[in-house]
Amino acid sequence: MLRRSGKRVKPMKNRVIKVDTLARVEGEGGVFIKISDGKITDVKFRIYEPPRFFEAFLRGRNYSEAPDITARICGICPIAYQMSAVHAIEDAFDVTVGGQLRALRRLIYCGEWIESHVLHVYMLHAPDFLGYEDVLQLAKDKPDVVKTALRMKKIGNELVRIIGGREIHPINVKVGGFYRVPRKKDLLALVDDLQWARDRAVDTAKLVATFEFPDLEQDYEFVALHHPDEYPFNGGRFISTRGLDIAIREYEFHFEERHIPHANALHSVQKGVGAYQVGPLARFNLNFDQLTPIARQVAQDLGALPPIKNPFKSIIVRSIETIYALEEAHRIIEQYEEPDAPAVKIVPQAGIGFGASEAPRGTLYHRYRLDDEGVILDAKIVPPTAQNQPSIESDMRKFVSTHIDMDREQLTWRVEQAIRNYDPCISCATHFVKITWE
Amino acid sequence: MPIKRPKIAVFKFASCDGCQLSLLDAEDELLAVAAAVDIANFPEASRRMLKGPYDIGLVEGSITTPHDVERIRGIRKMCRVLITIGACATAGGIQALRNWKDVKDFTRLVYASPEHISTLDRSMPIGSYVHVDFELRGCPINKYQLLEVLNAFLNKRKPNVPTHAVCIECKLRGTVCVMVAKGTACLGPVTQAGCNALCPSFDRGCFGCYGPMDNPNPHALSKHLGQLGESRRDIMLLFRGFNAYAEAFRKESEAHEE
Write out pLDDT tens, residues A142-178.
Answer: 999 999 999 999 999 999 999 999 999 999 999 999 9
Of A25, A61, A171, the CB nearest to B204: A171
The answer to whether position A12 is within a domain reads: no
Give tens-digit pLDDT for A68-98.
999 999 999 999 999 999 999 999 999 999 9
For domain B7-154, give the CATH number.
3.40.50.700
- Is a pLDDT exceeding 60 seen at residue A378? yes
Amino acid at A273: V
Q: What is the pLDDT of residue A263?
A: 40
Mean residue pLDDT across chain B: 93
Higher pLDDT, A211 or B49: A211
The answer to whether position A156 is within a domain reads: yes
| CA atoms within 13 A of residue A286's CA, in its CB half-sphere | 30
- Is a pLDDT exceeding 80 seen at residue A17? no
Of A135, A157, A179, the CB nearest to B25: A157
Mean residue pLDDT across chain A: 90
Can you tell me the mean pLDDT for A54-70? 95
Q: What phi-psi label fits residue A319: left (phi over 0), alpha (psi between -120 and 50 degrees) or beta?
A: alpha
Cβ–Cβ under 8 Å, residues A368 and A66: yes
Residues of B (100-129) whose Cβ lies below 8 Å from A: 101, 103, 105-107, 109-113, 116-119
- Is a pLDDT exceeding 60 seen at residue B200? yes
Task: State the pTM of this model.
Answer: 0.94
Residues of B in contact with A57 (CB under 8 A): 94-95, 97-98, 101, 106
Can you tell me the mean pLDDT for B221-232? 98
* B39 to A136: CB separation less than 8 angstroms, yes or no: yes
- Is a pLDDT exceeding 80 seen at residue A267? no
Degrees to nearest 5, angle at CA B71 with B68 and B74: 155
Of A54, A119, A171, the CB nearest to B24: A119
Residues of B in contact with A54 (CB under 8 A): 94
Q: Among A4, A57, A260, which would you mutate to test the B interface (most chain B Cβ atoms within 10 Å of its Cβ)? A: A57
> What is the spatial distance between Cα A195 and Cα A294, in angstroms, rounded to a whole number?
13
- Say what percent of chain B tops pLDDT 70: 93
Q: What is the pLDDT of residue B118?
A: 61
Radius of gyration for chain B, computed over Cα atoms and rounded to the nearest angstrom: 19
Q: What band does B13 get if pLDDT is binned at 50, 70 and 90?
A: very high
The distance from CA A158 to its chain's CA centroid, rounded to whole angstroms, is 19
Neighbouring C-beta atoms of residue A155, cutoff 10 Å: 24
**Strand order of the sheet with strand A39-47?**
A15-19, A29-36, A39-47
Nearest CA in chain B to A181: B202
> What is the spatial distance between Cα B124 and Cα A366, in angstroms, rounded to a whole number?
28
The answer to whether position A11 is within a domain reads: no
> What is the spatial distance between Cα A71 and Cα A431, in angstroms, rounded to a whole number?
12
Neighbouring C-beta atoms of residue A389, cutoff 10 Å: 26
Degrees to nearest 5, angle at CA A120 with A268 and B54: 105
- Is a pLDDT exceeding 80 seen at residue A23? no
Q: What is the pLDDT of residue B117?
A: 54
List CB contacts of A380: < 8 A, sequence separation 6 or more.
A55, A252, A365, A366, A367, A368
Q: Among B27, B49, B105, B242, which would you mutate to test the A interface (most chain A Cβ atoms within 10 Å of its Cβ)? A: B27
Q: Among A65, A168, A178, A259, which would you mutate to test the B interface (most chain B Cβ atoms within 10 Å of its Cβ)? A: A168
Degrees to nearest 5, angle at CA B190 with B187 and B192: 100
Buried b (16+ CB within 10 A) or exposed e, B85-100: bbbbbbbbbbbbbbbe
Q: What is the CATH number of the domain that holds A417?
A: 1.10.645.10
Q: What band does A265 get if pLDDT is binned at 50, 70 and 90?
A: very low
Q: What band does A259 get if pLDDT is binned at 50, 70 and 90?
A: low
Q: What is the pLDDT of residue A12?
A: 54
Domain containing residue A411: 54-429
Of A119, A133, A179, the CB nearest to B204: A179
Complex ipTM value: 0.95
- Whether B155 has its CB under 8 Å from any CB of chain A: the answer is no
Residues of A in contact with B207 (CB under 8 A): 68
Can you tell me the mean pLDDT for B235-244? 98
Give tens-digit pLDDT for B96-140.
998 998 777 766 666 655 555 567 788 999 999 999 999 999 999
- Which of A81-85, B12-16, B133-137, B248-252 is predicted with the least confidence, judged by mean pLDDT? B12-16
- Is a pLDDT exceeding 80 seen at residue A24? no
Buried b (16+ CB within 10 A) or exposed e, B22-58: bbbbbbebbbebbeebbbbbbbbbbbbeeebebbbbb
Beta strands in A175-277 (DSSP E): 177-178, 223-226, 237-240, 245-247, 255-260, 265-270
**Which part of chain B is CATH 3.40.50.700?**
7-154
* A57 to B242: CB separation less than 8 angstroms, yes or no: no
Of A27, A53, A168, the CB nearest to B25: A168
Is A24 strand, coil or helix?
A: coil
Buried b (16+ CB within 10 A) or exposed e, A72-84: bbbbbbbbbbbbb
Residues of B (45-104) whose Cβ lies below 8 Å from A: 45-49, 64-65, 67-68, 93-95, 97-98, 101, 103
Q: What band does A429 get if pLDDT is binned at 50, 70 and 90?
A: low
- Is a pLDDT exceeding 60 seen at residue B151? yes
Q: What band does A14 get if pLDDT is binned at 50, 70 and 90?
A: confident
Number of domains in chain A: 1
Residues of B in contact with A156 (CB under 8 A): none
